[in-house]
Structure 1
Amino acid sequence: MPAVASAHIVPGTGPAPLAWGADWWVLASLVLSLLLYAAGVAKLWPRLGQGRRAVLGRAAYFAAGWLAMAAALASPLDPAGGMLFAAHMVQHELLMIVAAPLLVLGRPFGPWLWGLPASWRRAVGHGVHWRPWAVAWQAITRPLAAWLIHFAALWVWHAPPLFQLALADDTVHAWQHASFLFPALLFWWAVLGARGPAPGPAMLYLFTTMMHTGALGALFALSNTVWYPAYGDGPLAFGLMPLEDQQLGGLIMWIPGGLAYVIAGLALCLRWLAPVRNTWTGSSRPNPGKP
């Protein structure tokens, strides 16, 4: 009841102000990630030679993913997500199917590491190669493990008690966003990373993820019951009934969300089918199947 009362909007008063901004630690994390990446690329640039074009392409992917992440976390979309389920779904989709794959394609670990001072870089390098950490990282980035973590995070957080708790508590809400973003990064790393699975398994992971995310969206879109009454009358300020808001959010997860996995699958197919060009002789040969 307190959550419903706090979300209640008196008809005719209009929506609460929707402004840019976020908690200081969110903004600090966004700025630090961008500055470290830029510093790392600047340090590597003189050493790259013919590899500069590839690094520029990765930097473009990272920049696009960073902008999507900033739009999800620090734009008016964030406060709107506390009033409107459909806006909340747009926010989650930006994190999981836009920002996450673009950040993975940006390969940020190398530039981030080079962006650190030399002494810190050596310490981080030793920590990364510490056996317990290396074993844990290999375990969670295996395609099946990453798929299961992503699946569990999505379905568990959409359970009504947890989802409504996130609406009422900013700390829980932050954990919810982290639980969507980082498992999505693991999933896309497992599929798009340099050591991703063979074409068949990768397509299977994409297809099954499209199916279970689409099923969750369909449950929202086709339901005649409001799952999250904690939104109260918030949707009315945007001209939507609570059930219409929920159905619109479900359609966003179901249709555009599913289409993103189809596009990713088609892009992977094109990459696998394209011949590999020998940069020394200029000849081409069939792609052996690794991304």
Structure 2
Amino acid sequence: MPYFLVAYCGPAAVPGSLWLRWNTDPLLLAALAALAFVVASGRSNNARAGWAAIALMAVVFVSPLCALSSALFSARVTHHIILIAAVAPLLALAFPLPRFVHPPLVPVVAAHAVIVWFWHAPGPYAWGLSTVPAYWLMQLTLLGSAWLMWRSIFSPSVPTGAALMALVATIGHMGLLGALIVFAPVPLYVAHFATTAAWGLTPLADQQLAGLLMWVLAMIPYLVAGLRLAWSGLHVREPAL
């Protein structure tokens, strides 16, 4: 099978050298440092959320997970789950930008769903890893659309019921996408055809693991957020004694 070179994060990691594969891209490090300066200077609404978002971005873009995601589709899906289900809501808490108009929730949720499905279709996925601009287009559209969705979900102006429905819809479409990936009869993601064997996986087994992660693991942050929203809604409605 042909070797597919991933343009960003470098060659696929192998077990013996994984922990040596840190990404030291100066532009990336400068961007994270700039964001850290913004948080440290008190310009975020929630400093703890801001620092947590920066730490998770370092995990997905700087740590060896970056190189591992060049080798395994399951690692790439883990990367994407962290980005849209953990980094994005934390950034929405840290930088809600309340002065900017909130787009209607339904189009925002639908647009995010389209972007998630688009980048996990085999063709766009391979293209997104083939050049550095395409890679960052993938990352920024996933993160940006997720941030817009979480920003609306957390907004006090959005009714709790509507926010909960947005979370349920997101769990539903991501679960469906994960199931389709799990039950695909053949491996679809050419970028990893030649790199899974070093990790003791066939391309199909790696793909099935990725689908399970999206189907099961990815729903946890949305469920937690939904429970917190529901609890907050009930608490607000408690009569004063």
TM range, smaller chain: 0.7 to 0.9
Aligned to 2:3: 5
| 2:149 equivalent to 1:187 | yes
Within the candidate set 86, 101, 105, 1:138 is matched to: 101
Q: Which aligned runs of 4 or more in structure 1 are off by greater than 3 angstroms?
A: 13-18, 107-110
Asked if the contact 2:119–2:138 (Cα under 8 Å) also holds between the matched residues in 1, the reply is: yes
* Aligned residue number for residue 26 of structure 1: 28
269, 272, 288: which one aligns with 2:233: 272
Shift of 1:109: 4.8
Q: Aligned runs of 1:102-117 on 2, under 5 Å?
A: 102-107=90-95, 109=97
Deviations 1:96-149 (A, max 9, x none): 001111121223659xxxxxxxxxxxxxxxxx8xxxxxxxx536x321121122
Provide Cα deviations, 1:185-226, integer angstroms capped at 9, x if missing partner: 00100101243x112111111101100011001111122211
Counterparts in 2 of 1:121-270, with a 5 A limit? Answer: 138=101, 141-195=103-157, 197-270=158-231
Equivalent-residue separation in structure 2 for 1:223 and 1:84 (angstroms): 17
How far off its partner does 1:184 sit? 0.5
Give the stretch that moved more between structures: 141-150 or 211-220.
141-150
Amino acid at match of 1:193: S
Total equivalences in the alignment: 233
SS in 2 for 1:168: coil
Quick one: distance in 1 between partners of 2:16 and 2:138?
A: 23
Quote how far apart the aligned CAs of 1:16 are: 7.8
1:86 is aligned to 2:74: yes
* Greater radius of gyration (CA): 1
Contact (CA 8 Å) 2:74, 2:207: kept in 1 or not? yes
Q: Say if 1:39 and 1:234 are closer, same or farther in 2 by CA, change over 3 A.
A: same
> Structure 2, unaligned stretches of length 5 or more?
7-12
User: Structure 2 length normalisation: TM-score?
Assistant: 0.87
Unaligned runs of 5+ in 1: 45-54, 111-127, 129-136, 278-283, 287-291
Whole-angstrom distance in 2 between the partners of 1:5 and 1:87: 18
Q: Counterpart in 2 of 1:125?
A: none
Distance 1:142 1:250, change over 3 A: same
Taking only aligned residues, the RMSD between alpha carbons, in angstroms, comes to 2.6
Q: Match for 1:59: what amino acid? A: A
TM-score, normalised on structure 1?
Answer: 0.73
Greater fraction of residues in helix:
1
Would you say the 8 A contact 1:220–1:246 is kept in 2? Answer: yes
